[in-house]
Amino acid sequence: MTGQDTQGEPPEEATPVKVAGQTIHPGERRRIELPTGVLATGSALPLPLEVLHGTRPGPRIWMSAAIHGDELNGVEIIRKLLSELHPQRLAGTILAVPIVNVQGFLLESRYLPDRRDLNRSFPGSPRGSMASRLAHLFMQEVVRGCSLGLDLHTGSDQRTNLPQIRADLSDPETARLARAFGAPILIHAGLRDGSLRAAATARGTRVLVFEGGEARRFDRTVIEAGTSGILRVLRELGMRGGGPIPPAQPSLESRDTSWIRAGRGGLLRLDVDLGERVEKGRRIGVIRDAFGEHALPVRSNRSGVVVGLTRSPTVNRGDALAHLAVLEGSVNPSAPPPTTGRSHQDP
């Protein structure tokens, strides 16, 4: 495994690497600010990243969060990891970018100021929109040269997600790393045009997308799951030795997810929680009007595990209420197909 010594031979030493035009020596940690443009005030707006270059050879990987500026759990996960990881005890190189969408983060917005979704703008262009230029910069200075990316997200639009990994589970190496992560559930996810995962995959880089919690909130359980999961992946890659990482339970796996949607508008009361298993036909909630009348039960159209929920008590007809994942080996012969082919793709 990468980073392990060969018996009877002296340990191999790493050589310097270049990141964003700067030379990083073995055992060095360095903060780099990538230029993204100039604000109307004339002040520069950099994209900060931190490089940890180990003393032994190993993979080069990246960790990223806040591609959507209001998704905060990943920012805290990367902060915790940076406080724990030390390049002197590392094999390989880690590029950590806790806040990719800096302007969205400052505005507490999912989007960039021009209302573009950065995760629909990859691989980008040096002469395109603000989002396109930022995507291009990230691909050139962060993704290029990496064999693996760990991209951290939360739910959006007043939704919360069970900690989960979305990845191409049909690729044996990706599946191995996803299982090493140890999230409660692994979801085989198709690629979405314009996403970071799609652009990186086209360049031959594997990507694990971690989803957990909701926007604009820290969730201690999700943060611990993400932090421990990434440490397990680093150990699986041989980048980090054994340490006090909580053991993971075997992950559930799914290749089929869909949302249960509201049949009418009203006030919603949910009767299920994240991670709960439900059977087809079970009532998962009820929609009533403001007087508590005209109750409409919301029932599951399939059996599965709840991997996402709305947090909004007010709903309109067609709104997504609960996201169900059918487990591998489960059979739902009479279940309708997912309401959208994008339900388990990249956020």
Residue by residue, DSSP assigns 286-320 as EEE-TTS-S-EEEE-SS-EEEEEEE--SEE-TT-E
Question: What's the longest Cα–Cα distance across the chain?
Answer: 78
DSSP 54-92: -SEEEEEEEEEE-SSTT--HHHHHHHHHHHH--GGG-EE
Residues 6 or more apart in contact with residue 292 via CB below 8 angstroms: none
**Strand partners for 159:** 310
Query: Which residues in the chain come in under a pLDDT of 70?
Result: 1-11, 242-243, 329-346
**Strand partners for 272:** none
CA atoms within 13 A on the CB side of 309: 19
Q: In angstroms, rounded to a whole number, what is the distance separating the alpha carbons of residues 227 and 98?
A: 13
Q: In angstroms, rounded to a whole number, what is the distance separating the alpha carbons of residues 153 and 209?
A: 7
Residues 6 or more apart in contact with residue 213 via CB below 8 angstroms: 73, 154, 155, 160, 161, 163, 219, 222, 223
Q: In angstroms, rounded to a whole number, what is the distance separating the alpha carbons of residues 201 and 83?
A: 29
pLDDT at residue 8, as a whole number: 58
pLDDT at residue 245, as a whole number: 78
Q: In angstroms, rounded to a whole number, what is the distance separating the alpha carbons of residues 228 and 264?
A: 41
Residues 6 or more apart in contact with residue 67 via CB below 8 angstroms: 100, 101, 118, 119, 151, 153, 196
pLDDT in tens, 191-216: 999 999 999 999 999 999 999 999 99
Closest CA to 162 of 309, 271, 285: 309
Tokens of 297: 């039960």
Pairing of the two strands 56-65 and 91-97: parallel
pLDDT at residue 345, as a whole number: 63
Domains with residue ranges and CATH for the chain: 17-236 (3.40.630.10), 255-327 (2.40.50.100)
Q: In angstroms, rounded to a whole number, what is the distance separating the alpha carbons of residues 269 and 314?
A: 9
Q: In angstroms, rounded to a whole number, what is the distance separating the alpha carbons of residues 325 and 187?
A: 8
CB-based contact 324:299 (threshold 8 Å): no
pLDDT in tens, 144-195: 999 999 999 999 989 999 999 999 999 999 999 999 999 999 999 999 999 9
**Strand partners for 76:** none
* The CA-based dihedral angle spanning residues 69, 75, 77, 79, taken in that order and rounded to the nearest 10 degrees: 170
Q: In angstroms, rounded to a whole number, what is the distance separating the alpha carbons of residues 308 and 241?
A: 34
Confidence (pTM): 0.91
